[in-house]
Structure 1
């Protein structure tokens, strides 16, 4: 995985900053991690794609839904698209 010594050594050799708070903890990427959890549990695990083309199409449709139709509690029940094009979004503490 991304915490293997071989992988970390390559990053260090190229002076690439490793974006982890600790071994195996990707807290810097919490929003991305949450997105992929939703993708897996709301689409991938529920769908039996027969081939790459079907998976590509299905995931594209899901991501369009996720961004344009699915309301997010953390965004005050707005869609990511609404928030992106709005200048007045204020997050809640």
Structure 2
């Protein structure tokens, strides 16, 4: 993900090619890569994007980029505030993060 001129990736061939790394360096973007075989570094993000794709993106025929952005905004609000997660003992991420039940406005 891009963050203040930095990009962190895994060591896939698409990320280690001179064409890719050269373009980043030309724009002053610092590169860091996860260690070889460190699949667990990205597992949480990979699971999140799998959920986003299967619960939102693949189910919607987006009219344009604005429609996609609105749908993703709604999905992430749902994901964090109202969707219960088995791995969080059937709490929402916001409940766990803020350590209290969230009251949602209608």
What band does the TM-score fall into relative to the shorter chain? 0.7 to 0.9
Q: 2:36 aligns with which of 4, 19, 22?
A: 22
Structure with larger RCO (C-alpha < 8 A, sep 6+):
2
Cα 1:76–1:2, aligned 2, differ >3 Å: closer, same or farther? farther
The structure with the greater share of residues assigned to strand is: 2
The alpha carbon displacement at 1:29 in A equals 1.4
Cα 1:52–1:15, aligned 2, differ >3 Å: closer, same or farther? closer
CA distance in 2, matches of 1:26, 1:55: 29
Q: List gaps (5 residues or longer) in structure 1.
A: 88-93
With normalisation by structure 1, the TM-score equals 0.73
Q: CA RMSD in A?
A: 2.7
Q: 1:86 aligns with which of 99, 102, 105?
A: 99
Q: How many residues align?
A: 84
Q: List gaps (5 residues or longer) in structure 2.
A: 1-12, 101-106
